[in-house]
Amino acid sequence: MKRIGVFANVTREGMGQHVKRLASLVADRGVDVVLHEDLAEICPDAGHPFVDGSELANRAELVVAMGGDGTLLRTAALVRETGTPVLGINLGRLGFLAGATPETFDTSLDRLVSGDYVIEDRLALEAFVHGEVAFSLNEIVIERGTLARIIQLTTRIDGELVSSFWGNGLIVSTPTGSTSYSLSGGGPVLHPLLAAVVITPLCPHSLSQRPIVVPANQTIEIEVFAEHQDIIMTADGQTVAKLDPADRVTIRTAPRPVKLVNLQGLSFYELLRTKLNWSLADPATEDANGA
């Protein structure tokens, strides 16, 4: 490992100190550091070069994303053209995608420098509308505005009509994003190694509408009908387009996966148990204790 890049949530309190500490520890191990240009406002005296997003993705062998899952998602979009691996350091709440914490900086960096980690390829999405492309590691969402009336959404997969319903919107989620907004909307949890996509209706005005899992190599087209223009499309929680009635959004798998660094070596099922509290005490332990 010769050079590590750093991207961070500059709005988080104390982030400047975290960035400077990380950069110092990296440099102590003989590894060069480049910082995203936004960090200049919170740690101008870091002693390392500040570069724009494109240069960060091209120069770094690995990019550290410091913040919560939202920061990691923004970093994934930043490196989407280069495929540079991303390590999340969690300073947020859940940190489902993060591979380290500030408390484990020293041991985490030792493992990074020695190459003692696993890289996981995560499927991503691209959404096309109005001649623009939106990138997403978690999900693409089409939904009505806060005060707007419900909208009608018609979904086609590889040109074949699948459904048409009235409701609040629709989520198209990757396996990585299946534990995010889609899960809150009643969608299933997908293992991140699956080549599949979840389509989850939001508050459909039909009891028969349910989430559907489709192969990742199929093209999804969503057409919107409404009597108003308060319709938005978001990618990983960021508004990327205002939609007009009768607009059509095309969603496909991105040509390059996102490479996430797994330092802890936790399996997906361990993450579900620890992050989502899916497990009570081990029954075998309870039996041994006479419970």
Is the distance from CB of 152 to CB of 164 less than 8 angstroms?
A: yes
> d(Cα 287, Cα 274) in Å, to the nearest integer?
22
Hey, what are 203's tokens? Answer: 């508050």
Hey, what are 122's tokens? Answer: 């995560």
Backbone angles phi, psi at 213, to 5 degrees: -105, 125
Among 279, 137, 164, 273, smallest CA distance to 222 is for: 164
Single out the catalytic residue among 38, 52, 69, 282.
69
Among 144, 101, 138, 99, smallest CA distance to 245 is for: 144
28 labelled catalytic: no
> d(Cα 7, Cα 63) in Å, to the nearest integer?
7
The residues that are catalytic are: 69
